[in-house]
A and B are shown apart, each in its own frame.
Chain A
Amino acid sequence: MEEKKLHKSDEGYLKFVHELHKVLLSKEIILVYEGEVDQSITKAFTSLIERNLSGSQESIMLQKRVYHVMVECLQNICKHSDHMLTGESISPGEGVFVVAKDHDSYIIVSGNAVYKRKLDSLTSTINHINELTIDELKEYYKIQLKESRLSEKGGAGLGLIDIARKTEKKIEFILEPINDDVVFFIMKFTIPKAI
């Protein structure tokens, strides 16, 4: 009786994996990861995606864009994640990371917990970046570069500005509250194949 029960729940779980696999295939998800992000994870993922891209005969330009956005995202998770419950900053950070593609672009999604007090500057930076044209982005990038040299705190979102410049796409994001102090912050970057 006990054995049969175990068998049944196992089967349910395996069916779930099958469903998950079907979702991964239908959404053309190349990589999905949840957990700590450190240097070895970053290296492993970038190598994996590089191999995947070079095998799929995508242009060098696209390869390097995808590579660049991946490194930025993973570094964001690694360096700027906060604790899911307390909101204290953690190192190495942890979060969720997805690489997928559709017929005309590659999609990179990253999510991690962010302490609410940091949220305003983060969302206003992204909103500002999304409002700018390519030329304005270039100018803004230069200003933030100079800022970064004047103060330790300055130069906010250099990595994000650079991504926006290179992908020429808006950065999409959503916020899901975890508790009173912490939200789960998810960003999506789109890299057009015809870049």
Chain B
Amino acid sequence: MQPILIILLILCVGALLLVIILLNKSTKKSQSNTIVHEEKNLELRKTFHKIDEKNGDYESSIQYAKRLVDAIFKIGALVQFDKLDYFLLYRPKDIISGDFVWHISKYDRHYFAVADCTGHGVPGAFMSIISYNLLNQAVNEHGYSKPSEILEYMNRRHFEIFNEKNINQIRDGMDIGICVVDTDSEIVEFAGAMRPMYRISANGEFEKIRGDRTSIGDAMDRGAVKFKDHFLELSEGDTIYLTSDGYVDQFGGLEGKKFKNRKFNSILSEMSKNNMKEQHKKLNFELSNWMKEHEQNDDITVLGIRFCP
């Protein structure tokens, strides 16, 4: 009896030891698991913090860029024109934008442009700043006076800067409408690169003047494309509009469709009796009403200029 008891006892102790060892092992494992989890958590937290920091950096850098862009384009600055009233509807999709508005006056010739550069956000803003400077150069340094000459200069320079050595066939450029409102001769001169100009007379008569079907930056003829000038008489109460395609291409409505040209045109005709401030409000209202929950899909710009001698 005695040896059997001893053997049993040994077996029991052995089993117990085995259980203890096994248990110990598994605890160790789970302990190490917990450690791994904690490590991973810490890593994640660090990454989140980094992203947060980067985001903050990005945000403040964009905000700073916006300050520079605002300073360059003087958006919202109050410019007074003799014999002209105007409004500017400007809604960038992001903080900074690929749409921009340019203006310069030479005696009674007032130059206006609304441009829509490829891309929006940061790349759009880069392109905007370059193009804005080219416009100033065209008039101030080279003395170009016709809208077609300004577009031809822009196109040449764009081709040289962006596309001449570009072997990828990616075309960077912009669509732009330029008009010169001559309050002395009482005419408007217009030339467009893939953008039209609208003219609504005081009695609501609607006219759309189409620009050329060439974008700025087009490589045709190595940048030596010719643009056409359109000359229009300007009577008291006439309003002309330059736009980017953002407004008519905005998705919205019950079926989430584009706003479309026809609707935009009829709004312009309908509000011919309204002053510039009211028109600004109306276009803003119609846009918000259309968009509702829809996200803005592009930069939106509408410039309205009324002749009031």
Contact = CB atoms under 8 A, between A and B. Distances in A.
Nearest to A158: B231
B184 A64 contact: yes
Chain B's interface size range is 10 to 19
> Most chain-B Cβ atoms within 10 A of its Cβ — which of A47, A142, A145?
A145
B144 interface: yes
A149 B230 contact: yes
A42 B143 contact: yes
Nearest to B182: A162
A142 B107 contact: no
B108 interface: yes
Contacts of A68: 107
A145 to B, nearest CB: 5
A67 B106 CA distance: 10
B145 interface: yes
Interface residues of A, number: 23
A162 B184 CA distance: 10
Contacts of B232: 145, 149
Interface in A102-159: 141-142, 145-146, 148-149, 155, 158
A15 B231 CA distance: 51
A73 to B, nearest CB: 13
A39 to B, nearest CB: 6
A43 B232 CA distance: 26
B184 A146 contact: no
B184 A46 contact: no
Contacts of B108: 64
Contacts of A142: 233
Contact of B231 (A46, A63, A155): A155
B231 A145 contact: yes
A149 B184 contact: no
Interface string B139-178: 0011111000100000000000000000000000000000
Interface of A: 39-40, 42-43, 46-47, 60, 63-64, 67-68, 71, 141-142, 145-146, 148-149, 155, 158, 162, 165-166
Given A64-B107, A141-B185, A146-B233, 5 more contacts: A39-B142, A39-B144, A63-B107, A145-B231, A149-B231
